[in-house]
Amino acid sequence: MKSKTIYPGYDKPPQKEEIIIEHTLRYADVDEIKAVIARYGVEKCKQVWEQELIPDDRMRKLNYFLAKFIFKISFDEDELKKYMRAHSKKRGDRLLEIFNR
């Protein structure tokens, strides 16, 4: 992997799996994404995607690409919109839920 382009702001590639997965899904090409999925498993990668990338409104086009071609959610636009809404809870909203029990 090209660590300078995949991990901007890092001097060396991170060790934490979630960061590796998130940055690969965000910045890498399809072959590198497939390699990360093979290494960490589709469920782990899908979980990171749902928690970190779907809530980020700036990643809308990327999320639709990942949903259709990488995680094979659906090609139906209505199903994709419903899926994205179900997983679009922002980090701040999740924190509020934790602290307002």
Exposure b/e, 34-53, CB count within 10 A at least 16 = b: eebbeebeeeebbebbbebb
Domain-located, residue 54:
yes
pTM over 0.75: yes
Residue 5 included in any domain: no
Classify residue 25: in a domain, yes or no: yes
Average pLDDT, the chain: 89
Domain that holds residue 70: 15-99
Does residue 66 lie within any of the structural domains? yes
pLDDT one-digit tens code per residue, 14-54: 899 999 999 999 999 999 999 999 999 999 999 999 999 99
What total number of domains does the chain contain?
Answer: 1
Phi-psi region of 81 (alpha: psi -120 to 50; beta: other; left: phi over 0): alpha
Q: Is 6 inside any structural domain?
A: no
Does residue 8 sit within a domain? no
Per-residue confidence (pLDDT) for residue 90, from 0 to 100: 73
| Residues with Cβ within 8 Å of residue 67, at least 6 apart in sequence | 73, 74, 80, 83, 84
Is 74 a member of any domain?
yes
Domain assignment of residue 4, yes or no: no
Has residue 3 got a pLDDT over 60?
no
**CA 41, chain centre distance (Å):** 13
